[in-house]
Amino acid sequence: MRLAALRAVLTILALSAMDNPRSLRQQQAPAPGGVSLLAILAKIAYILLMDVVKATELKNRLGAVLKRATLGEVATERHGRVVAYLVPAPRPGRTSANRGAGPEESWSRVDEERVLELSARGDFRPSRWSRAGNPRQLAGVAVMLASQEGFDRPRMLALAEQLYPGMSTPAGFSRWLAGSPIQAARFLPMLRARIQEKAPRLERAV
């Protein structure tokens, strides 16, 4: 039935072009409502060409339907009406796996100061770190601190995974090092100085 309707639409377009080319140009022009007849026919053809499944088929054969949805839009029909569409997932960009220090990877003095303060205080609560800045950058800092004396390695690696899954793996950390604006040679000495600065205050408080 759908194929017959599609053939009818295509036949109308073909006959219109053969009988009167000027008429076809008129059909391409927008009507007073802002939509041309040709656009309407094209929309109808698009709908007729779309893959359609019944709601019961979606329920009983979900795997097969999802496989079809990777190739193009699939309309879900219930009681003769389209109620939803399954569309292919967007493909990641070629550069997504090796992001550089773009806007989302920035590292300002404010970010640096915030993380220095948290680290010097020994405050490694995930809730605090997740609000402190870019989660990927902070996860990289957590892995970096995991290798430093005086820091609980399992805890820091767990924090890194909570902030950005995969960062605690060698491959994940290597990618971070390659593109991160954070310089360990600058950050770690500053952190050591901040910890020493806070130590006398803690002793006086005790």
- The 10s digit of each residue's pLDDT in 69-108 is 666 677 777 777 776 766 666 655 444 444 444 444 678 8
Percent of the chain with pLDDT over 90: 35
Predicted confidence band at 189 (pLDDT cuts at 50, 70, 90)?
Answer: very high
**Average confidence score pLDDT of the chain:** 73
- The 10s digit of each residue's pLDDT in 160-180 is 999 999 999 999 999 998 889
- The confidence score (pLDDT) of residue 160 equals 95
DSSP bridge partners of 75: 52, 85
| Residue 151 tokens, joined | 């820091």
- The confidence score (pLDDT) of residue 115 equals 94
- The confidence score (pLDDT) of residue 89 equals 61
- The confidence score (pLDDT) of residue 54 equals 76
- The confidence score (pLDDT) of residue 100 equals 43
- The confidence score (pLDDT) of residue 198 equals 79
The stretch 109-119 carries a mean pLDDT of 92
- The confidence score (pLDDT) of residue 173 equals 93
Distance CA 54, CA 5 (A): 19
Number of neighbours of residue 146 by Cβ within 10 angstroms: 19
- The confidence score (pLDDT) of residue 44 equals 56
Segment of 14-23, 77-86, 89-98, 141-150 carrying the highest mean pLDDT: 141-150
Sheet with 51-54: list strands edge to edge: 51-54, 74-78, 81-86
Q: C-alpha angle 131/134/135, rounded to 5°?
A: 75
